[in-house]
Structure formats: C-alpha cells, structure tokens
Amino acid sequence: MATVAFIGLGNMGGPMAANLVKAGHSVRGFDLLPQNLEMARTNGIGIASNAVEACAQAEFVITMLPAGSHVLSVYEEIAPAANKGSLFIDCSTIDVVSARTAHAIAARHGHLSLDAPVSGGTAGAAAGTLTFMVGGSAEAFQRGEAILAPMAGKIVHCGADGTGQAAKICNNMILGISMIAVSEAFILAEKLGLSHQALFDVTSTSSGQCWSLTSYCPVPGPVPSSPANRDYKPGFATALMLKDLKLAQEAARTAGAATPLGVHAKEIYEQFESRGHGGEDFSAIVKYLRQADL
C-alpha cells in the first residue's frame, strides 16, 4: 500500500483517485471545487485543505488538471514542500513545453517525475482501463508503473521527458483529422445515393478502415455504441478535441513540423465550436460539414 496525493479531482481525477483507493492505497486529495471534494470523500479519499497539505507524507504526487498553467503553478507550490524523493506524475493533457518545465521544477526540488497523459475518457477513468502514455527516465517509470496500474488498461513508456504528451497530441491529431475524413466520405456517399450501411460494410473491411469509422462512426446506425446514436452526447466533447488540436499546432510550430491537415482540422473544429457546439461530441462535426459552405 502506498500513500498518494491526488490534486485535481474533476471528471477524470475523481474516478482515477477512487480506483487507487479501491486498490488499497491511502489517497489524500485536493481540488478547488467543494462539490468535487465532497464526491471524493464519499469514494474514500482523504480531503486536504490545500495542495501542500495533500502532499505531506505522500510517496506519489499525481496531478489531473485542466492545462499547463495550472500544472506549473501547482508544481511551484508543492515541489518545495513535498517529501524529498516522492515521485511526481502529471496525468493532465498539457503542452509539451510546459510538461518539460514541470519535469524541471520537480527535479530542482529532488523529485523524479513523469508526464503521463491518458486516453479512454471518463468511462475509462471509471473502469480503470485508461491508456497511459508516459514520458520520463527509466528510473521514474520503473517506480511509477505499479501506482498507475489500478487506473490503467495499458501503460506505454514513450521515452524521455515530454514524450508522453507528444504521443497524446500526435494520436489526437490523427483522430481529429480521420473523423473529418470519415465524415466527408459519408456526406459524399449521401450525395451519390450510396447508403450509410453500404459504405460502412465496404470501408470497414477495406483500406479506408480506421477507428473513427469502425468504433466511433459519425452517422447513426452502423456502430450502435457511437455517440451519433444518442444525438452526439459526449463521449469526447468538441471543446476537448479542439484543445488537443491546438496543443498539436503549438508543438508543430515549436518543432518546425509541417502538419497542413492538422492546421485545417483545428480550423474546422474551431468554426464548429464558435457556433455553440463545444459541448457536443466531436463526431458531430459531420453535421457541420453537411451544412458548411467551406
């Protein structure tokens, strides 16, 4: 059994911390929102009155926060106060530059650290089946793997500091682009008199096959579990997809990588969000493309 501090007990952090408690770990948490603290308390998480207090005696410090600025300000606050030698693990999805800065803050105060963003959404967080993409030293990964296990379906060590975040934004850039590609194909098929089911039956076993088609089909019918069958209730909200596409573009600019389809996908989701659809599942982009005069 380990002692864990968990900062950020929102939609993802709350159920992730609850799974650590279920696995027998002692978890102390903190969040700015009283309702999230209350929910955490009912799941067996000890409540601290601030982030520094949550870290007292912790061997592992896990953060699950909205963006890079939140992670850096929490790290500046807790790194000097946390137990020397505790392992810092940031599971938030943040930009690569901030992730590397967070590693540097931890190191300055004598802590090993990992960037460990996840995919799998709130359902995966509740079920303990998240995929963790982990960046950091081999020593840090070796120490952190077991504490991630009760929250994980799969854990991949991607390489040095920041490579977990790099894997996350590269994956989600593929996802954002491929969802637009699949949506465009369905819209073209509609105009050509080809039914959704017939297109699905052909492409799901042909070279157009991809996750956006066979697991998350943007039109209702062919994949009963996809959000299209429940009026595009997320799932994975458009606003979160847009956040990740922006992070990918930030990284591409910094690294000097050409990602023309990534640029265009970000612009298309930006337009969809600005028309008030940020809360709908990102596969609802098919509705926008159907109407759009792009």
Contacts to ligand NAD by CB under 6 A: 7-13, 30-33, 36, 51, 64-66, 70, 74, 92-93, 118-119, 121-122, 236, 240, 243
Q: Least distance from C-beta 253 to ligand NAD, angstroms?
A: 20
For residue 223, the Cα-to-chain-centroid distance in whole angstroms is: 23
Neighbours of 24 (CB within 10 A): 9
Task: Write the DSSP assignment of 253-281 as a string of letters.
Answer: HHHT---HHHHHHHHHHHHHIIIIITTSB
Nearest residue (beta carbon) to ligand NAD:
10
Nearer to ligand NAD among residue 211 and residue 290 (C-beta): 211
Q: Least distance from C-beta 168 to ligand NAD, angstroms?
A: 8
Q: List all residues 6 or more positions away from 84 whose beta carbon is below 8 Å from its beta carbon.
A: 109, 110, 111
Q: Is 97 exposed, middle or buried (0-12, 13-18, 19+ CB in 10 A)?
A: middle
Which of 22, 168, 243, 246 is catalytic? The answer is 168
Nearer to ligand NAD among residue 33 and residue 198 (C-beta): 33
- Whole-angstrom distance, CA of residue 89 vs CA of residue 111: 10
Q: Least distance from C-beta 68 to ligand NAD, angstroms?
A: 9
Is 191 considered catalytic here? no
The amino acid sitting at 285 is I
Nearer to ligand NAD among residue 33 and residue 188 (C-beta): 33
Q: Least distance from C-beta 123 to ligand NAD, angstroms?
A: 8
Contact call for residues 97 and 123 (beta carbons, < 8 A): no
| Relative orientation angle of helices 163-191 and 196-203, to the nearest 10 degrees | 130
Q: Which residues are catalytic?
A: 168
